[in-house]
Amino acid sequence: MEKKVDIRTLTFDKLLSWFESEGEKKFRAKQVWEWLWQKSATDFETMSNLSKPLREKLNAHFEIRPVKVSESQISSDRTIKSGFRLYDNHLVEGVLIPTDDRMTACVSSQVGCSLTCKFCATGYMNRERNLTGAEIYDQVVLIKNQAEENYQAPLTNIVYMGMGEPLLNYAAVLDSVDKITSEQGLNWSPKRITVSTAGIAKMIKKLGDDEVKFNLALSLHAANDEKRNQIMPINESNSLKNLEEALNYFYRKTQNKITLEYIIFHGFNDTLQDARELLEFCKRVPSKVNIIEYNPISEANYQNADPEAIDKFADFLEKRGVTVNIRRSRGKDIDAACGQLAIKEK
């Protein structure tokens, strides 16, 4: 018996070729494509404008491997964290973050992570595999459904800030963005999508070469190589100087300002000297800063900075012309906050 092909791994041209080789009309390929990417169908039987024999033929040759919600938890602040079960039984986590004016989906790009950032729970897991573009797309659709069902509100933003390093799964991440933003897909504006990286300089340049339209965020957390090396070993091969060059290249190619994410740790990177170093980096890279409250994890000893220190830090930067947002933690009580995602099997 022939092994079924995952139909969502095919390009449109390959799907079209299959229909032609089977003696089917070309427009049928377009119909199937729309079912898959506009209507997010996960079963050939639901494709109601196809004949029963054609649905049976599709079912004989192809399969769809939908991501399913394994379980969800709702935080006291309305944040919803979900464990998403993949076809091969792996789990990843995704989060719906509701605020007064936004509904944001935070999605994962890898099962685990190969980077070992010291403050991040996912960094203590092994990377099992990359997600496919379809598996990333599915997380968005499932979280969009949660927003509509639980809060009667549409999804407004997508951030690739869940488990894994998106730029180490480059092709699938860009494929998922294409399916989400394409007119033949979910037809989202790329301006509502942010991809966050720990800082892979050559891949940041590749984003520039590909002239992507989505937003880019860099997890910076220290504007000093010695400190950044301590918490983010990736910095040893992607120094701040290399990242600065890559980010400027990205900006020249896309005209998109970069968001610098800065988790502020008590007694580590929360002084005015740290703020001065960050200011100098901001002067050299067209950017704005998101200061993020830290969410402690059991694997590490870092603590969140005092609120007073956070406000002083932000004030120092704002008075010198830097655009600063302080991102308050969401979903802490269910381990759904920034840096806390790690699969804990029941």
pLDDT per residue as tens digits for the range 137-157: 999 999 999 999 999 999 999
pLDDT at 9 over 80: yes
What is the band of 331 on the pLDDT scale with cuts at 50, 70, 90?
Answer: low
CATH classification code of 5-63: 1.10.150.530
Q: HEC states along 144-209?
A: HHHHHHHHCCCCCEEEECCCCCHHHHHHHHHHHHHHHHCCCCCCCCHHHEEEEECCCHHHHHHHHH
Q: How far apart are CA 188 and CA 199, in angstroms?
A: 26
Q: What is the pLDDT of residues 21-71, one digit of tens each?
A: 999 999 999 999 999 999 999 999 999 999 999 999 999 999 999 999 999
Q: What is the mean pLDDT of the chain?
A: 93
- DSSP secondary-structure letter at 306? P
Question: Tens digits of per-residue pLDDT, 87-104?
Answer: 999 999 999 999 989 999
Break the chain into its structural domains and give their ranges. 5-63, 68-334
Six-digit token string for 219: 């997890």
Q: What is the pLDDT of residues 269-282, one digit of tens each?
A: 999 999 999 999 99
Does pLDDT of 301 surpass 90?
Answer: no
Q: Please state the rounded mean pLDDT for residues 107-120.
A: 92
Q: Give the residues across from 83 on adjacent strands.
A: 71, 93
The answer to whether domain 5-63 and domain 68-334 are alike in fold is: no
**pLDDT at residue number 320:** 97
68-334 CATH choice from 1.10.1270.20, 3.40.50.150, 3.90.930.12, 3.20.20.70:
3.20.20.70
Catalytic annotation, residues: 93, 338
What pLDDT, on the 0 to 100 scale, is given for residue 330? 62
Would you place residue 2 in the very low, low, confident or very high pLDDT band (cuts 50, 70, 90)?
low
pLDDT at 297: 81
Q: Note the pLDDT of residue 346.
A: 40
